[in-house]
Amino acid sequence: MKDTAKHQGLRNQLASVLEQKGITDKRVLDAIKKVPRHLFLNSSFEDYAYQDKAFPIGAGQTISQPYTVAYQSQLLQVEKDHKVLEIGTGSGYQTAVLFAMGAKVYSIERQSELFKSTSILLPKLGIRPKHLTFGDGYKGLPNFAPFDSIIVTAGAPMIPKPLMAQLNRGGRLVIPVGGENETQIMNLLVRIDETRFEKHELGEFRFVPLLEDKN
């Protein structure tokens, strides 16, 4: 598991590309520079790891495009020690970026194959989420709620009510909304108080679908 000066140079270049595309949060850009994305990919993709592209990671899932990871992370407005719930651990790359930003990350993955491999990989890289679990992302993690922010890394047909309920006041939920074969719209929900949320729709993205009760 090598991480060389060449890899670091490629990460710096990637961060510059993301900055040109509109990523301004220094915490996000520093995390992109820090996290060795090539170690989260199949070794056959290593030469392409620092291109701004998504790649397959097995179990019909993908590692998201770095711009998407950075964009969602920026929307969360993460501060040190924020409690962040991630729905869809996947390869663990987004988890690692949030961890590098100083967040306390709680993450759920519903694909057992990915859950097992990521659970082994993250500690090897010195990345320690507060809680990594195998389960249904629609339900969130009520036992650990409330969260300062929630990030969903798969397209959902609608915004799951349990996730809204698990947000702190002032908390932010970032989720792509749309059906399986359509482009999803990135949604940002900010919790105003017990019953009110402010909603923003922020452009089109493509994600794998968020599936319910499919364990």
Q: Is 11 exposed, middle or buried (0-12, 13-18, 19+ CB in 10 A)?
A: buried
Active site residue: 16, 43, 44, 64, which one?
64
Q: What is the mean pLDDT of the chain?
A: 91
In this predicted structure, the answer to whether residue 215 has a pLDDT above a threshold of 50 is: no
Q: How do residues 35-86 score in pLDDT, each as one tens digit? A: 999 999 988 888 889 999 988 887 777 888 999 999 999 999 999 999 999 9
What is the structure's pLDDT at 1? 72
Q: Is 6 exposed, middle or buried (0-12, 13-18, 19+ CB in 10 A)?
A: exposed
Q: Work out the pLDDT band at 128, boundaries 50, 70, 90.
A: very high
Q: How do residues 154-185 score in pLDDT, each as one tens digit? A: 888 889 999 999 999 999 999 999 876 777 89
Task: Please tell me the pTM assigned to this model.
Answer: 0.93
Alpha helices in the chain (DSSP H): 5-20, 26-34, 66-76, 93-100, 112-124, 161-165
Phi, psi of 34 (to 5 degrees): -90, -35
Q: Work out the pLDDT band at 211, boundaries 50, 70, 90.
A: low
Task: HSE, CB side, 13 Å, CA atoms: give it for residue 72.
Answer: 32
* CA dihedral (204, 159, 60, 83) positive or negative: positive
Q: Which residues contact 8 (CB under 8 A, 6 or more apart)?
A: 33
Active site residue 64: yes
